[in-house]
Amino acid sequence: MAQAGLLGKKLVIAITDSDGNVLQKAPEILKWSEEQISTQEKKAPIGEETEHTVTIEQGWKGAISGQDTNGAYDDIVDAMIKYQEETGDTLKFVIFTTRTYKDGTVKKYKFVDVTFDGYKADVDGNNKPVNNSINWHATKRVLI
């Protein structure tokens, strides 16, 4: 059971281009997810009683979603499409997260070589806000 003071209190997310330039418009992020991508290789050599396991880190993935308050989600997708059409390559981003815990502890991470895919926009009724979501993938997460 979680104890008071151990739960995350605040999460701040910033997205930059691969050169470190902050996006002109930051997307509103109401929901964030991150997940480690890894595989395990197992070997059971003949004549040995124990199995050997190696975990291979393959990166991180997740999703962000929020309401379309300023067109920032569309700006990210438009920039990706334009970059690919002009260079034939994939536009990369960097995501920074800062977690502040109730006890004052701060953890900062940098997700590098971030690519986005799976953009989605939906609305639930005529006068409701447009909701956006996009998946992300990073080669690694670095503690800063």
Domain ranges of the chain: 10-43+50-143
The amino acid at 77: V
Any idea which fold 10-43+50-143 has? Pnp Oxidase; Chain A (2.30.110)
pTM for the full model? Answer: 0.84
Token couple for 31: 């929901």
CA distance 128 to 89: 36
d(CA 76, CA 57): 27
Residue 125 has a pLDDT of: 81
- What is residue 48's predicted lDDT score, i.e. its pLDDT? 86
Q: Give the span between the Cα atoms of 121 and 133, in whole angstroms.
A: 7
| DSSP summary character for residue 119 | E
- Write out the DSSP string of 14-64: EEEETTSPBPSSPPP-SEEEEEEEEEEEEE--TT-SSPEEEEEEEEEEEEE
Tokens 């002009």, residue located: 86
Task: Divide the 144 residues of the chain into consecutive groups of 10 and give the mean pLDDT of each group.
Answer: 56 91 90 95 88 92 95 94 96 95 90 97 88 97 96
